Each structure stands twice: as C-alpha cells, then as structure tokens.
Structure 1
C-alpha cells in the first residue's frame, strides 16, 4: 500500500477550465496559465511519491481534499462551493 499526505493548499483551478479558440476555422484547445500552474503544483508534489516498481493489477485511490477554513465554515464540513470536487479529481 502506498499512502501519503501532501501538505499544500489545493488549487482552485480545475481541469474543466480549459479554453478553446478558433484558428483557421478549427477549434484549438489550450490550458490557461493558471491551469498550467495548478497542474505543475500537483505534479511537483506527486513526483516525490512515484513507486519504485510499476503497479500491476487493480488500483484503488482514495483522495481527501483539505481546504483552508474560511467564512465561518467548520472543520470537516462538506465543501459545496467552487471548485467542484469532481473536477478537482480530474486535474489530479
């Protein structure tokens, strides 16, 4: 079993915030700079936990997002504001 905690403030930018522009009549998808920074932040922290050997077979991943407490929310309270946690999982 691999288990670790990343002591970071989770990014509030999600995978769903990709942008599209039309170039020569064709859609061109790109990541804005804040999305690139969020992806880089996560990859930098995750790279420290790469297993020594390749994982084989089924894998289960459990993620617990711990956001800073703001605006009178309680510790352990479910998050119902942006970013949507499903989209945060996609970025991860």
Structure 2
C-alpha cells in the first residue's frame, strides 16, 4: 500500500521517542511533528536526520484504513493500546 499524500496521520497520532530535528526529545502522541510542511508532507523525507522509526513505518490497510480520518483513529487507538501503563 502507498501512503496517501497529505494524510500525515502517522506524523501526528503516534508518539516518537527518538530525536527529530526541531524536537530534541521526540514528540508525544497527538502533537504535529515540526517537520510536517503546510501540505502535510515530511520535510525531512529521504534525509539521514529522519528518525529510523519514521523511515521504517510502512503503510498498511490495517494501519491506514480507507481515509485520512480512519488512519488517524486507528493510529490513535494503536498508540493508546501500546502506551506504557501508569503506576
């Protein structure tokens, strides 16, 4: 499956714990990555500064669904389900 251009659900819905240029501590879930352009494209796509977690993420029907909104909902759910439990 190819990514839907401009979707950016994976750049907003999920947390990223590794450093991102402009976000030294990564980013929490639900926060827009500073590297997203106005048209929701990755500003560091193909650059060595792009975190490995981003480069390794591959679009799939299970993850992305049929619409951008569905992708955001699915990724938000996955993030919530895999988040460490609070003591």
For the criterion TM > 0.5, the same-fold answer is no
Q: Which TM class, normalised by the smaller chain length?
A: under 0.3
TM-score by length of 1: 0.25
- Which structure's relative contact order is higher, taking Cα pairs within 8 Å and 6+ residues apart? 1
TM-score (norm 2): 0.26
More strand by share: 1
